[in-house]
Each structure stands twice: as C-alpha cells, then as structure tokens.
C-alpha cells in the first residue's frame, strides 16, 4: 500500500537518482495504518532525557525517562524528539523496532508510531500530518535508520514537517517578509551582460532557459518582471511584488515551509513558485539554479569533493522539499 501511494506521488517527478534513492528505503516493510498496538492500561508519555548523569554511559545514547508519580492519563505513550533533532547531529541509538502509521485520535490527520509510541515534535506537539502519503514517507525515513544512531540529515521530510508544524505558525509573517525582502535580488532577475566576451555565453544561455520562466511569471501574475544586468538586481514593480506576497499569504503551513526551503536552496523565490505552481520539475529547477556554474564546469572541469558535493546537496534539498510539497497536498493524487 505504501509503495503504491509513493509511486503515484513520485510519478510526475523526473529525477531518476532521487526516485531510486527513495524507493530503496523498502517502503513495503512499513505496515499500513491501524490502531494503536499498545493495548495495556493508560500510561503517560515518554520524553527523551539528554542529561547524562552517569558518566560511564555513551554520550550519544538516548535515555527514555519514565513518567513522574504525577502521571497523566494519556491513553498512548509518545516519543518527543529533542531540539538537537533540528540541528543535524546524531541524536542517539535506534530504540524502536517497528514503524507504523495510524489515523490521529481526532480523525484529522495521520501520525507515525515507533513501536507503541506516538511520535511528537521537539516542542512536544503531536506530529499530525495532513495526508497518509506524507506519514508513510516520514515513517520510511524512520524505518531506514540504522541501529547505531538516528541521523536527522537522512530525514529531510521529517525536518520539513517539524518546520511546518512548529516554526511556520509562529513566524509566518516574518518568513513572508524575508522572502519578499530577497525577491528583488532574485536569481532569475540578474542577467549577464551581452556585450562582454566573457559573459556572452552566459547571457545566451539565460535567454534560452530563464526567459520562458519570466514569461510564465508575467502570465501567472499579470505583471512583466524587470531584468537587470547588475549583480545586485533591482527593484521590481509594486504590482508584481504585491501579487507574489498575496500568494504567499494564502499558502498553508506545509506549502510555506516547502516554498521557504526551495527559495533558500535555489536563491530564487521565482523558481520556488515555479515548482509550487507545477511550472518546473525538479531537474528543470536544478538546471536553472546551476546554469552559470555548469557553464564554468563545462569550460574548466569539475572539482571532485567540491562541485559534486554541492550538486548532490542541492539535489537533496530541492527534491525533498518538492516531494514534501506534493505529499502534503490532500488532492495530490487526483
């Protein structure tokens, strides 16, 4: 069931390497949604104890601290991820055997279960996901973790989900303000000089690859974007800026988290919106982002341990945010 859902979700995504990496996670090993397997009496939640009171213990271990005598009456136990989960460091050894998904208690959304524990965000909010497909994908990330440690840098969907549930609701206005502040210096508005022999090739490539995106931007929002030859860009028209800002204000938390992640990786809100609106596929977006650098690589060669690492990192960031965006939409499969 999980494999079928994810295959449908990933069908329109045209990046073969990313798809093969996702499908290698053995989605078929994840159980389908069902009720809480913990049939025992009511018990309070478990939380992680990062304090290492015993110096002889492994510093990387996660210790599950039992509830105090003042136990709550929650019917299910839970696992709350420590704040270090958001930083990329290893947070501890794998402490669970089976990963499953189930519908949330209120019937609105889906949760991930680690054995009989319900997964929670770093601030102890329920990890309530909008679709079963996204819950299955995040469950796959947890299933993929090795016994010697939980590695957040291999769990981009989980990190985006925590961002959407934790950060976006509290800082939505600031996120939109930051995106709009960078809009005038967007990557696609900066054009290499045409009359310079060193940049003429870059200019021609930009006309070929970027101009169709600018034409789409004009038709999508009804305002012609302004292109500048300055490295620092220039001021866009008030009409276009206002139209883009209004679109951002109408997004839900998952959509805004994905757009913010895409814009940060691409140095371009326009490219992020192109993916958001379905104008750009993953490979097309990466080609636009790396247009100038790829021309330099073609001319001077690829630096191993430099360019290849940057390319791999960019592919992960763009692909994971795009997949998260698609899987979070309830009408995605229609």
pLDDT of 297 over the 50 cut = yes
Dihedrals phi, psi of 173, to nearest 5 degrees: -60, -40
How far is 305 from 259, CA to CA, in rounded Å?
Answer: 29
**Residue 2 banded pLDDT, cuts 50, 70, 90:** very low
Q: CA 225, CA 38: separation in Å to the nearest integer?
A: 57
Q: Which residues contact 29 (CB under 8 A, 6 or more apart)?
A: 143
Instruction: Band the pLDDT of 88: cuts 50, 70, 90.
Output: low
Question: Is the pLDDT reported for residue 111 higher than 90?
Answer: yes
What tens digit of pLDDT does each residue of 162-211 get?
999 999 999 999 999 999 999 999 999 998 887 777 777 888 899 999 99
What's the burial of 74, exposed, middle or buried (CB within 10 Å: 0-12/13-18/19+)? middle
How much is the pLDDT for 53?
A: 40
Q: Which residues pair with 14 in a beta bridge?
A: none
Which residue, among 306, 309, 314, has the nearest Cα to 290 in the 3D structure? 314
pLDDT of 219 > 50? The answer is yes
pLDDT value at 300 more than 60 = yes
pLDDT, greater one: 230 or 236: 236
Say what the pLDDT of residue 301 is: 80
Give the pLDDT of residue 184.
92
* Contact indicator for 244, 180 with CB cutoff of 8 Å: yes
Decide if pLDDT at 12 tops 70.
Answer: no
Question: Residue 276: pLDDT band by 50, 70, 90 thresholds?
Answer: very high
pLDDT at 192: 85
Q: Tell me if 271 sits within 8 A of 187, measured CB to CB.
A: yes
pLDDT above 90 coverage of the chain, percent = 51
Q: What pLDDT, on the 0 to 100 scale, is given for residue 142?
A: 96
| pLDDT number for residue 62 | 36
Between 2 and 124, name the one with better pLDDT. Answer: 124
Give me the mean pLDDT over the 157-166 stretch: 95
Specify the pLDDT at position 123. 85
Domains within the chain, CATH numbers bracketed: 78-153 (3.30.2180.10), 166-328 (1.10.3580.10)
Question: Which of the four pLDDT bands, split at 50, 70 and 90, describes residue 326?
Answer: very high
pLDDT given for residue 101 in this prediction: 96
Q: What is the mean pLDDT of residues 248-263?
A: 97
pLDDT band at residue 7 using 50, 70 and 90 as cut-offs? low
Res 319 pLDDT > 90: yes
Q: Are strands 77-80 and 63-65 parallel, antiparallel or unpaired?
A: unpaired
Q: How confident is the model at residue 160 (pLDDT cuts 50, 70, 90)?
A: very high
């Amino acid at each position: 069931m999980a494999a079928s859902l994810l295959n449908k979700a990933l069908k329109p995504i045209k990046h073969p390497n990313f798809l093969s990496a996702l499908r290698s996670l053995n989605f078929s090993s994840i159980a389908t949604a069902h009720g809480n397997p913990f049939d025992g009496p009511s018990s309070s939640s478990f939380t992680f104890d990062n304090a290492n009171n015993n110096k002889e213990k492994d510093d990387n271990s996660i210790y599950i601290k039992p509830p105090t005598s003042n136990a709550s009456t929650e019917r299910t136990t839970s696992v709350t991820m420590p704040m270090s989960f958001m930083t990329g460091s290893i947070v501890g050894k794998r402490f669970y055997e089976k990963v499953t998904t189930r519908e949330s208690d209120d019937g609105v959304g889906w949760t991930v279960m680690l054995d009989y524990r319900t997964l929670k965000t770093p601030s102890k909010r329920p990890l309530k996901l909008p679709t079963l497909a996204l819950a299955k994908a995040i469950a796959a990330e947890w299933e993929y973790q090795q016994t010697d440690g939980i590695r957040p840098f291999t769990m981009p969907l989980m990190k985006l989900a925590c961002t959407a549930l934790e950060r976006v609701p509290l800082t939505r206005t600031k996120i939109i303000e930051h995106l709009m502040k960078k809009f005038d210096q967007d990557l696609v508005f900066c054009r290499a000089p045409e009359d310079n022999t060193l940049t003429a090739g870059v200019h021609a490539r930009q006309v070929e690859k970027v101009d169709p995106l600018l034409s789409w931007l004009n038709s999508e929002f009804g305002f012609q974007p302004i292109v500048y030859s300055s490295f620092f860009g220039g001021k866009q028209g008030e009409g276009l800026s206002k139209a883009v800002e209004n679109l951002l204000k109408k997004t839900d938390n998952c959509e805004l988290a994905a757009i913010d992640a895409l814009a940060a990786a691409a140095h371009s809100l326009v490219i992020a919106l192109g993916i958001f609106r379905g104008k750009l596929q993953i490979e097309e977006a990466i080609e636009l982002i790396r247009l100038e650098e790829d021309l330099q690589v073609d001319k001077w060669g690829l630096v191993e341990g430099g360019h290849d690492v940057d390319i791999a990192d960019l592919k992960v960031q763009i692909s994971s945010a795009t997949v998260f965006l698609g899987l979070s939409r309830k009408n995605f499969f229609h």
